[in-house]
Every structure is written in C-alpha cells, then in structure tokens.
Chains A and B, each alone.
Chain A
Amino acid sequence: MTGRVARAATGALVFVLLALAWEAVSRAGVFPPKLFPGLGTVATTLLRLGADGTLLVAAGATLFRLFFGFLIAAVVGVVVGILMGRHAWFEDTLLPIVSFLYPIPGLAYAPLFVLWFGLGDVPTILLVGVASSFTVIINSWKGVKSVKVIWIRSAQSMGANDRAMFIKVILPAALPYVLTGLRLGLAQAWRILVAVEMLMSVTHGLGWLIFGSQQFLNTDVMLSSIVVIGIVGMLLESQLFERLERATVVRWGMMSA
C-alpha cells in the first residue's frame, strides 16, 4: 500500500515541478500575461468551456470527421493491402506508387484539396482518409505476406477452397498486422486532423477552436483545447484498440498483451 502511494507520488512529482515552472514563467512576466496565462486562469477557462458545452461540441465535430476519415482509410487500406498481399500482379503494379506517396505528409495536400473540393467537411474527411490509408495499406500487405507458407500448404492439402483459405487462414493470420496498421492509421488520422481543421476553415472542431482563438490571443482557450485533444487521443489509443486486440489476436494466442 505504501509502495503504491510512493509510486503515485513520484509520478506526480514531475507534474508538480512542471506546474511550478509554468507558474513561475507566467508570474515572472517573460511573456505578456495574455499570452502566458497562469494555471488558475487555464483551469477556470477549461471548466467554463466544459460547462457551457463549447468543448463538447468541438470534440464532437472533430470526432465525427475522424470517424468518417478513418472509415475511408480503413476500408481502402485493408482492401488494397490484402489485394497486394494476395496477388503478385497488384503488388508489382501498386507498390511503386504506394511507396512514393507514403512519405509525403498528408497535410501537404491540404491546399490542393481546398482548390479541388472547396472548404469544409468533405475535403477534410477525404484528406484525413487519404493521408492515413497508406499506413493501413502497408501493414495489411506485410501481414498477408507474412502468413506462414506451411499454414497455406496444409490448408490446401486438406482441401480448403479459396473462400475458406481466405477467411479461415489468411485473414486471422494477417490480423495482428492489420490491427497494428489500423491503430497506427487512427493515430495518424488524429494527428493530421487537428492541423487540417486549422487549414480548411471548418465550423467547430478542436483544431478550429485553437486556430480561431489565436486571432483573439485567447491562449487560455487554446490550452484548454490542447488538454481535451490530449485526453481524447489517450482514450482512443488505450480504450479502443487495446480492447479490440484483447478480444481477437491476444485471445487467439497470436500476440501477447
């Protein structure tokens, strides 16, 4: 019991030090107080925006875009990745294109998407989908390629048809990689989305809240939004995929938790 308390105390220690440093910088007047508010101001703003629903609406709008953008990335990524892994023809034809487009930051397309599709939700969702699909493609492809040949051969010799082979052997065997790809893709979509919202002049959204507050030097609002972004990001990572992994690949003994 005391061990746990001591552990929590050491964990909290750095936060206390960071908070003290923040307060010190804020009070020393290195920056104008409007630009570097004290923690009390930030906490009050956070509570006020949380209570009047501003943060809730913004987070909802961002999550809505994240959901549809990631849906595009997941469907396109898994389908293309599996096709590339299964058929040499797809692999040979698409791999050069995928490997050239993969290292281009999705955000760099943002102004181009504005030219093509205008402003608002549609280009934002499309861009997030395109940008995060490459990670899913690459991981799904690697997953299918890494299926043990001996499993395929033994299924074949036991008379599995294409359908059974795909559903009972290839898909489950590739699933750890596919899930890793989806997890990385979601994280990437989340990171890009916040910035895309700043460039696409959408209405509502956490990125929009930060960018809009910059005009009025509302740093307390910006910091409150960043806090919410951190919390949502953490929940997405720890709640969604860890559960999914525990329910599938960990339970099947293909990965240790």
Chain B
Amino acid sequence: MSAKGRPEREYRSAQHEGTPVSAAAIIRHRRFYRGALGVAVLLACWEFFARSGMYSKAITPPLESILRQLASMIADGSILLHAGATMLRVFVGLAIALAIAVPLGMLMGRYPLWERLLRPVVSVFMPIPSLAWVPLVVLWFGIGNVATVLVVVYASVFPLLYQVWAGVRAVNPLWVRAATVMNANASQLFGLIIWPAALPFIITGLRLSFGRAWIAVIGGELLASPNWGLGKVIFDAAEFLNADVMLAALIVIGAIGLFFERVVFQALEAATVERWGMATSASR
C-alpha cells in the first residue's frame, strides 16, 4: 500500500511530532485523560457538596475522611475479614448453584422429557426475587451463613440453568450426530462434545450469576445481618450514622465487583472459549 493510502490521522500526527504515533494510541490517550477528567469532576462536586455544609459532615463526609476510614479498616484488617466472609458465601453459593444447574440444564437441553418436567417449575420460581425469601429463610434457619448462602444459591441458579440449557440446545447437531455415528456413549457425548460446545454459554451464565449473587449476598447480609460481611458493615454503620464507613464499604464492594467482572471472568473467557476459538473477545 502506498503512503497515500495510510490513515490520515497517523500521517498528520507523524508530521507534527516527528515520531510516528498510531491513531489508536492517540485515542487511548484521549480516553484516559477524558476519563480521568470525568472522575475528577465527580469527586470535586462531591467534595464541594460535602464541605458546603448543606448536610452535616457525618452524613456527607468529605473524601479525606472516607479515605482515612478505608485506610484504617484495611490497616486493622477488619474490612478484609468482612470481604472474605462475603466472598466465601458467594463462592459456596455459586458452587452449589453450579452443581445443581449444570446437570439439570444439560438434561433439559438434551432430553425433551426433562425439559417438559422442569420448565414449568423454572418459569414459576425464576421471577420471584431471591431477596423476597430472606425473612422466611431467616425464620427457618436463623441468622447466619445458611440463610445467606441459600439466598445466593436461589439468586444464581436460574440464570445459570437458563444458560446451560440454551447452550446445550445451541450445540451444532452435526457434531452430536458425528459423535453418535462414531459410537460415542452417553458419557463421551456429554463430556467430549456437549460440555465443551456449551461452555461459552456456561461461562456467560456464570458471569450473570455472579452479578446476581453479588446483589443477593449484600442484600441478604443487610436483611439477615450475620456477624461478618460487607452488608453487615453497612448495616452497622447506619445505626451509628457513620456515612464514611458506609461509603468506604461501598468502594470495596464496587472494587471487588469490578475486579471479578473485568479481570477474573475476562481471564476465564480468554483461557477457555477464546483460546478454543469458540467466541470472539467480548467488547470492552
């Protein structure tokens, strides 16, 4: 391709700065500075509002006291214990949900009888918000881990089941027929064909379920107030009007959620479905 055919922007910037800078790098730069500007404006507005004295400082604390609170909670390790308790509930709940949803979803996707059996039950229970069950579950199992984990399971099992089911139905029938012709037995069919072919859907389901579970666990901890957990931190802080503690806990909740969404699940997708060429990289 001749120099004339190069993207115009690249050509111009090379002229200005003497070194070739790609258009993509310029866009990345611009994105970073504008993003930083947006965050800075938001924080400045908050700071102005907090210091203006419209509300008391206990209710709208300035950034400095939120950060100091966050630092002290990290330093004495309490926030880590709370976050750990919350994460543990999410993981145990998700593991149980996986153990329920993967086999049932595969049966539903593969055998019409199972679909006819389970589909009505799923469509009746799915629209009920998991948090509606909290007061009832607390009456049955008391305040604590059992109640919160059950709520997480309820919240995460349905999106997962739905995705596994859809994933199994989306498996290329040609592959299934080819495997059957080559005398694959049921376990080979599920293990070698259906499971990997449905995996992109299952990972999507896991991602959705994590989002639901994350909401459910915080809600469960707010309503059932066990001894530990990020929801419990917020609940306790509300009793003493410690808005700085609440905001510090919110920052931790947001950071963990963002970390899982952006780092863990993207790495998981890169290591499995993208590497196997089953799906293109998710957009940013």
Contact = CB atoms under 8 A, between A and B. Distances in A.
A116 B55 contact: yes
Contact of A10 (B116, B129, B283): B116
Given A31-B140, A92-B31, A111-B238, A195 B135 contact: no
Interface string B26-70: 000011001111110110000000000001000110000000000
A14 interface: yes
Nearest to A89: B34
Contacts, number: 166
Interface string B121-148: 1011101111111111011100000000
Given A18-B121, A93-B35, A219-B136, A234 B127 contact: yes
B96 interface: no
Interface stretch (B14-22, B179-187, B247-255): B247-255
Q: Which of B41, B218, B247 gathers the greatest number of chain A CB atoms within 10 Å? A: B218
A29 to B, nearest CB: 14
Interface string A65-108: 00000000000000000000000110011111101111111111
Nearest to B213: A105
B32 to A, nearest CB: 8
Given A111-B238, A229-B132, A103 B211 contact: yes
Contacts of A88: 30
Nearest to A191: B129
B99 interface: no
A96 B132 contact: no
**Interface range on chain B: under 10, 10 to 19, 20 to 34, or 35 or more?**
35 or more
B129 A214 contact: no
Interface in B83-124: 113, 116-121, 123-124
Interface string A232-253: 0110110000000000000000
A87 to B, nearest CB: 11
* Of listed B132, B134, B234, residue having the most chain A CB within 10 A: B132
Contact of A11 (B55, B59, B116, B261): B116
B200 interface: no
A198 B225 CA distance: 13
A217 to B, nearest CB: 7
Contacts of A109: 250
Contacts of B223: 195, 198-199
B222 interface: yes
B235 A111 contact: yes
Given A35-B139, A93-B34, A110-B222, A104 B254 contact: yes
B131 A195 contact: yes
A115 interface: yes
Interface of A: 7, 10-15, 18, 31, 35-36, 88-89, 92-97, 99-112, 114-116, 142, 190-192, 194-195, 198-199, 206-207, 210-211, 213-214, 217, 219, 222-223, 225-226, 229-230, 233-234, 236-237
Ordered nearest first, which 5 A-B pairs have the shortest CB separation? A103-B257, A233-B127, A92-B34, A111-B238, A93-B38
Interface of B: 30-31, 34-39, 41-42, 55, 59-60, 113, 116-121, 123-125, 127-136, 138-140, 211, 214-215, 218-219, 222-223, 230-231, 234-235, 237-238, 241, 243, 246-247, 249-250, 253-254, 257-258, 260-262, 283
Given A107-B131, A111-B222, A198-B134, 10 more contacts: A10-B116, A13-B117, A14-B117, A14-B118, A15-B120, A15-B121, A36-B140, A92-B38, A97-B42, A229-B127
8 contacts: A35-B139, A88-B30, A103-B211, A105-B215, A108-B253, A111-B238, A112-B246, A115-B241
